[in-house]
Structure 1
Amino acid sequence: MPLPAFCTHETPLRLLKKARANRHDPVPRQILADWLEQYGGNEGTLLSRVLRSSFGTSTLQRLDPADTQQLKPFVGAIHGWFHGCQDDNHDPVVRAWLLAPDSFELNRGVWLEMMPVPAGTFLRGYSRAEVESEPDRLKRRLEKGISLDPDLELIAKPFLMAKYPTTQEQWLAVNKTDPSKFIGATRPVESIRWRGTRQFSRRISRKFKQTFSVPMPVEWEYACRAGTTTPFHFGDTCDGTQANCNGKKPYGTKSKGPYVVGTTPVGSYPPNDWGIYDMHGNVMEWCADDPAMEIDTTYYVRKGGCWRMPAIECRAASSNTRAFYGSGYNCGFRVLMRITNPDPA
């Protein structure tokens, strides 16, 4: 049973991980219970009561029958977050994800921050409304007999996604030179070729004994949407004030916004609901259908759009391809950390 939707926001995810890692400390659990009670509606209020009672069965017995029926599926899911290590049937990948480190010191004072992304399902691709609003795209789909609706995709395993695109100071903590055109320690590194992303990922994987790579396109879009179904994680429209894109060519609105010629420091715009920044605009991000692939294919997908692109090209579903030997001062990347070979004990 997946977690209730309101539990997949950044705040409860962090509280869940902290409370799970410190089961004997009541403070994180109390804070989580308070958050659920305030923001989780009726289900959150009921769950908060269970949390405060340490999952005692007496709490369930005191609930009204209708409330018990509503809450029962979620109690098992929440219970698994806290007691997975004592449950032989609990998924070891989820257990390892809950206990995984979420920050790594690449060099003195230079940190890589990762955000937890839970397993789940989502609607991938352009919505029917988006397709019908674009005559050329609509025509191609009708001619090829392709559905106008997005696809339902399953992300079977949780992972961790970099909080920001890889910055220049992070890149220089691992490499000797910075290829970027728009220089700045906290700006995203750009002008990166595909092989550069693989080299970076391998080096930090060896250093921290974890499995880093660029995300697959489906993982990237899932992490970008963070439970939303709109063209952008912040809504239906974009005019350059919500993300670093060409605001002179907005999407979903006639109101034109700023056009920043160049990249901006990461975190300059609000994050999505999972606490991940710069998923729209700034730099396009390399992806890979098979991050473990040893042989270069001709082309790889890039997601997210960039500072020079119109907002329509920066939507969650948008993508383009580039030859593995190409780069460009609008192309960067971020890393994903997979949970592999978890300790079954």
Structure 2
Amino acid sequence: MRNILLSFVLLFAAISSAFAQELTVKSFKLAGSDLTAQTQPRKDLNDRNCALIKVGIGLQGVQFEGGIMGNVENKTGEYWVYMPQGNRQLKVKHANYAPVMVTFADYGVEKLESNRTYELIVVTYPQYAITQNVTNQSLDSQHSTPQTHPTVSDNTISIPVKDGISIDMVRVEAGTFTMGATAEMKDPFGNEKPTHRVTLTNDYYIGKYEVTQALWKAVMGNNPSNFKGDNLPVEQVSWDDCQEFISKLNRITGKTFRLPTEAEWEYAARGGNKSRGYQYSGSNNLLDVAWYDDWYDDNSGDKTHAVGTKQPNELGIYDMSGNVSEWCQDWYEAYSSSSQVNPTGANSEFDPSYRVYRGGSWEDDDRFCRSSRRACGEPGDRDRYSTLGLRLVLSE
């Protein structure tokens, strides 16, 4: 009897131990350059192509629930889950783990879109928590003496800041381009003309993403944004606020970050020396690359969205045509037709004085989202700019 009772106790302990572990979402995002949903489509009940979620989890025997179309495909290292457009959740289950419900809006994707491929990474907890704690402890040990050697991968670098937060940056190689309202830029404004040749003689790194609220809070200790969320872009920041942020960031990291010049911003938005001549940053279809607002297509829902949830441009940079507009370093001035080398805007402040900002925002229509579109604002004005944030540049 005692042996039987002991067996039940051990069995209960084993089951409890298994279910003390749970599945945890590490990331969920649109895989902008992955065309699998289009090249290997599956139809929904309305004969429309489904969305495809590629789930990386590293376990066998995983099950899924949530309006799935057809059978889940078990590929090497991942599962392919086809779902109709408009779906907002997916449940992930395994016999040895507590399940997890993935609500897409928590990761900046309001609902799935037809013909799009998404990437979902699910890990097991507590193993993931242990890994994260080790990583955070390692970063914590660097707070008093910031790491000076960033992690490098291909054309990107990741520079740790503090509290486990890093800045991902993309290298932009030097080159020459035509700046302003080139032929592919439809219905331009007058201040985008005349076009002129610009040469940038130095490589530079530019933020892969807009500065997030998590990064701003880590550096500044506050969050001025109207729309709150760690992975949302910071907004309601003035040009002067950005300079204070950058000064503190440079002290923490030992680096020399700054705002991009207007020319650096447009060159990067166009795709640098990998440019394919798109009207918007990464596509001629604005819906692919931007959160914006139009009378016929209010895809932003009148708010910002998590950075990096639309497709990137040719260089792998996100959100340069929408989400929030972005301050540049330059004083604003009219264009000249003369060729320029490393232009930095007006030579001095004039009255009234304005700083340049570039790129469309969540409340702009398509005309304001072209890569050549430019605007300006007073450097100390922040209250009316819930549409305006920033992106960082690091010179080599």
Where do residues 289-308 of structure 1 align in structure 2 (5 Å cutoff)?
A: 289=330, 298-308=353-363
Per-residue deviation at 1:237?
3.9
Partners of 1:292 and 1:320 lie apart in 2 by 13
Per-residue deviation at 1:268?
1.0
Which 10-residue stretch deviates more, 219-228 or 121-130?
121-130
Q: Which runs of 5+ in 2 are unaligned?
A: 1-32, 34-151, 332-343
Q: Secondary structure at the match of 1:210?
A: coil
- The answer as to whether partners of 1:118 and 1:158 remain within 8 angstroms in 2 is yes
Task: Find the counterpart in structure 2 of residue 318 from structure 1.
Answer: 373
1:245 aligns with 2:300: no
Partners of 2:252 and 2:236 lie apart in 1 by 24
Per-residue deviation at 1:200?
1.4
In the TM superposition, what whole-angstrom CA distance separates every residue of 1:78-107 from its partner, at most 9, and x where no partner exists?
Answer: xxxxxxxxxxxxxxxxxxx99998222221
Task: Find the counterpart in structure 2 of residue 263 from structure 1.
Answer: 304
- The answer as to whether partners of 2:320 and 2:359 remain within 8 angstroms in 1 is yes
- The answer as to whether partners of 1:190 and 1:329 remain within 8 angstroms in 2 is yes
Task: Find the counterpart in structure 1 of residue 320 from structure 2.
Answer: 279
Per-residue deviation at 1:308?
0.2
Paired AA for residue 229 in structure 1: G
1:207 aligns with 2:252: yes
Q: Secondary structure at the match of 1:218?
A: helix
Partners of 2:184 and 2:282 lie apart in 1 by 17
Per-residue deviation at 1:122?
1.4
Residue 242 of structure 2: which of 182, 185, 197 is its match? 197
- The answer as to whether partners of 2:233 and 2:307 remain within 8 angstroms in 1 is yes
**TM-score under structure 2 length normalisation:** 0.52
1:228 aligns with 2:283: no
In the TM superposition, what whole-angstrom CA distance separates every residue of 1:98-122 from its partner, at most 9, and x where no partner exists?
Answer: 9998222221211111111111111
Per-residue deviation at 1:187?
0.1
Q: Secondary structure at the match of 2:166?
A: strand
Q: 1:129 to 1:270 in 2, by over 3 A?
A: closer
Residue 106 of structure 1: which of 146, 158, 161 is its match? 161
Where do residues 104-183 of structure 1 align in structure 2 (5 Å cutoff)?
A: 104-128=159-183, 130=185, 133=187, 137=190, 147=194, 150-183=195-228
Q: Secondary structure at the match of 1:230?
A: coil
Paired AA for residue 245 in structure 2: F
Where do residues 77-96 of structure 1 align in structure 2 (5 Å cutoff)?
A: none
Q: 1:101 to 1:210 in 2, by over 3 A?
A: farther
Where do residues 42-81 of structure 1 align in structure 2 (5 Å cutoff)?
A: none
- The answer as to whether partners of 1:244 and 1:263 remain within 8 angstroms in 2 is yes
Partners of 1:229 and 1:153 lie apart in 2 by 16
In the TM superposition, what whole-angstrom CA distance separates every residue of 1:128-157 from its partner, at most 9, and x where no partner exists?
Answer: 3546x46x74xx99xxxx65xx32211110
Partners of 2:222 and 2:324 lie apart in 1 by 19
In the TM superposition, what whole-angstrom CA distance separates every residue of 1:219-239 from its partner, at most 9, and x where no partner exists?
Answer: 00011111232211333342x
In the TM superposition, what whole-angstrom CA distance separates every residue of 1:29-74 from its partner, at most 9, and x where no partner exists?
Answer: xxxxxxxxxxxxxxxxxxxxxxxxxxxxxxxxxxxxxxxxxxxxxx
Partners of 1:266 and 1:163 lie apart in 2 by 9
- The answer as to whether partners of 1:283 and 1:307 remain within 8 angstroms in 2 is yes
Number of residues of Structure 1 aligned to a counterpart in Structure 2: 227
Q: 1:331 to 1:98 in 2, by over 3 A?
A: same
**Which of the two has greater helix per residue?**
1
Partners of 1:171 and 1:235 lie apart in 2 by 29
- The answer as to whether partners of 2:175 and 2:201 remain within 8 angstroms in 1 is yes
Q: 1:292 to 1:177 in 2, by over 3 A?
A: farther
- The answer as to whether partners of 1:305 and 1:319 remain within 8 angstroms in 2 is no
Q: 1:235 to 1:202 in 2, by over 3 A?
A: same
Give percent identity, aligned residues only.
27
- The answer as to whether partners of 2:312 and 2:318 remain within 8 angstroms in 1 is yes
Partners of 1:99 and 1:271 lie apart in 2 by 16
Per-residue deviation at 1:262?
0.6
Q: 1:296 to 1:109 in 2, by over 3 A?
A: farther
Q: Secondary structure at the match of 1:287?
A: strand
Q: Which runs of 5+ in 1 are unaligned?
A: 1-9, 11-96, 250-255, 340-345
Partners of 1:231 and 1:101 lie apart in 2 by 24
